[in-house]
Amino acid sequence: MSVLVLGVVPLLVLAPYLLYKLKTIGQAAIQPDAIKADKMLIFYSVIGIVPAHLVTLYLAYLVVTEGGRRPFWKTLRWEWPREASPTIVTLLSILIAIVLYGLAFGVTSLYGGEKTDLDLLIESSLYTRIATAFIACATAPLVEEVIYRGVIYPAVEKVMGMGFAIAVVSLLFAGVHVFQYRSNLAVIVVITLLSITLTVARAVTGKLLPSFIIHLIFNGVQSILIVLGPFIDKDLVK
């Protein structure tokens, strides 16, 4: 359902703009070359991810609470591990996220690869770049952790055990990102490594907060670099 919502809702957000373009320009507005060159169309398609994430979060709420009969966050185990203080868990999660990003930077720098769909998005315009960075930091970590490590993981673990659940959820999370990064094997490797780390953190601690913090910091660093990328490149050229 989360994948379906992510495919349908942005199209609904995009529909008014497409109708406007069809009315003013005609069939030429929906030609592949015209779509790739339309910066506003790309921007609206990215903005449409925000309501898609909100709808997904609501669906997760209905499933987890059984229509409101259970507490949402407590059922998800959105808590600190009992074995360590919140400060220690937070610092360790931040450290893991930074190490992961360092490995990601090393892998992508060493092996390179072609530009991904994400690269093309953020290069289309400044406002799309900012919108992408916002979503990567503000909504994606929350929604993805609720779905994959909050809803799916405990269900699979209960039936098949921890090891199988880690493998399944890690592959599911990485799998939904493969199409977006299909042109760059190095990035797919990085996403898979991130997915395994997040799922292992959920399994070992028994709580969801550590995974969320790691995910938030990892995406947060990426978001900062996405926004500052053009300015950093200009300084390097100078």
Residues 100 and 212 placed together within one structural domain of the fold? yes
How many distinct structural domains can be found in the chain?
2
Domain assignment of residue 74, yes or no: no
Domain assignment of residue 68, yes or no: no
Residues 40 and 105 placed together within one structural domain of the fold? no
Instruction: Give the pLDDT confidence of 87-142 residue by residue, as tens digits.
Output: 999 999 999 999 999 999 899 888 877 888 888 888 888 999 999 999 999 999 99
Residues 100 and 181 placed together within one structural domain of the fold? yes
CA angle 75, 80, 85 (to 5 degrees): 160
Give CA–CA dist 137/223, Å, rounded. Answer: 6
Residues 43 and 98 placed together within one structural domain of the fold? no
- CA 183, 34, 135, 150 dihedral sign is negative
**In this predicted structure, what is the pLDDT of residue 203?**
97
The type of residue at 61 is Y
CB 121 within 8 A of CB 42: yes
Point out the domain boundary residue: 12, 29, 47.
47
Residues 26 and 129 placed together within one structural domain of the fold? no
Place of tokens 């919108």: 131
**In this predicted structure, what is the pLDDT of residue 212?**
97
Give CA–CA dist 45/24, Å, rounded. Answer: 20
**In this predicted structure, what is the pLDDT of residue 160?**
94
| Domain residue limits at 34 | 1-47
Give CA–CA dist 57/44, Å, rounded. Answer: 21
Residues 16 and 114 placed together within one structural domain of the fold? no
Residues 102 and 204 placed together within one structural domain of the fold? yes
**In this predicted structure, what is the pLDDT of residue 188?**
93
Write out the chain's pLDDT in tens, 238 residues.
Answer: 888 999 999 999 988 988 888 888 776 666 667 677 788 889 999 999 999 999 999 999 999 999 989 999 999 999 999 888 999 999 999 999 999 999 998 998 888 778 888 888 888 889 999 999 999 999 999 999 999 999 999 999 999 999 999 999 999 999 998 888 888 899 999 999 999 999 999 999 999 999 999 999 999 999 999 888 776 655 444 4
**In this predicted structure, what is the pLDDT of residue 129?**
93
